Amino acid sequence: LKDYAMEILPKLGFHEENEIKLFFMSVGNKCLTEILKTKNNSIWVGKMKTLSLFDNEIKILPKLRIHGENVMESLNLYADKPKHIAEILKMENKSIWVGKVKKVSLHSYALEILPKLGIHKENVMDVFSLNTGKTKHITGILKTKKKSIWIGKVKKLVLRKHAVEILPKLGIHKENVMDVFSLNTGKTEHITGILKTKKKSIWIGKVKKLRLGGDAKTIKDRLDFTLIPRSE
């Protein structure tokens, strides 16, 4: 959907077992005026494989009602300004249901809505990737409790720059075996908070391949993990 065509989304009646391969739109803020007046969780879209929302488009995320047993291939969110996520931040944590997701990619201010996403308790993620170069993009998340953001089992976890600071907040399944665990930081300020934690205080679990780039190498002793052969 593009521009003002987005306003008809609430009028569309999708089948109960409908499955959308790609939900993508291109709209400006003025084109969302009416749809933002609708109730949260009121626009039935059923199951979807890929959900990509950028900047102003993220505002409609709470309005979408996704199938309870949805298995999403990819969730991509990017927000360039705080106003794009302002209303979502007022919502309760885990109140925006996305179900099972194989790949999550969040950038810039979109990282702040991570606690608001409801991910299935038995979720198995192929890739979990977060990237941001500014502290202001994660101010809210850093105030959350340790291990409070459930992501379940993850095969590949990639955190870049300031996103590394979120690591202690992630709740990883206790039986998780990670194929790749990758942290990459270019500055010490990207890991300031973690450097203040105790050794082996951040539980990671079993890891087949560990990649620590830049200053991330200095927090290796803060991580509680078991390195195992890739053949296991």
Could you give the CA distance from residue 60 to residue 140 in angstroms, rounded to a whole number? 21
- Judge whether 78 lies within some domain: yes
- The domain of 209 spans 3-227
What residues pair up with 156 in beta bridges, in sequence order? 127, 180
Query: Are the C-beta atoms of residues 72 and 99 closer than 8 Å to each other?
Result: yes
Share of the chain above pLDDT 70, in %: 89
- Judge whether 75 lies within some domain: yes
Side-chain-side CA neighbours of residue 183 (13 Å)? 26
Q: What total of structural domains would you count in the chain?
A: 1
- Judge whether 73 lies within some domain: yes
Query: Are the C-beta atoms of residues 216 and 185 closer than 8 Å to each other?
Result: yes
pLDDT in tens, the chain (232 residues): 566 666 767 676 676 777 777 776 666 666 677 788 889 888 888 888 999 999 988 999 999 888 888 899 999 999 999 999 999 999 999 999 998 999 999 999 999 999 999 998 889 999 999 999 899 999 999 999 999 999 989 999 999 999 999 999 999 998 999 999 999 998 888 999 999 999 999 999 999 999 999 999 999 999 999 999 766 5
- Judge whether 232 lies within some domain: no
State residue 34's pLDDT score: 78
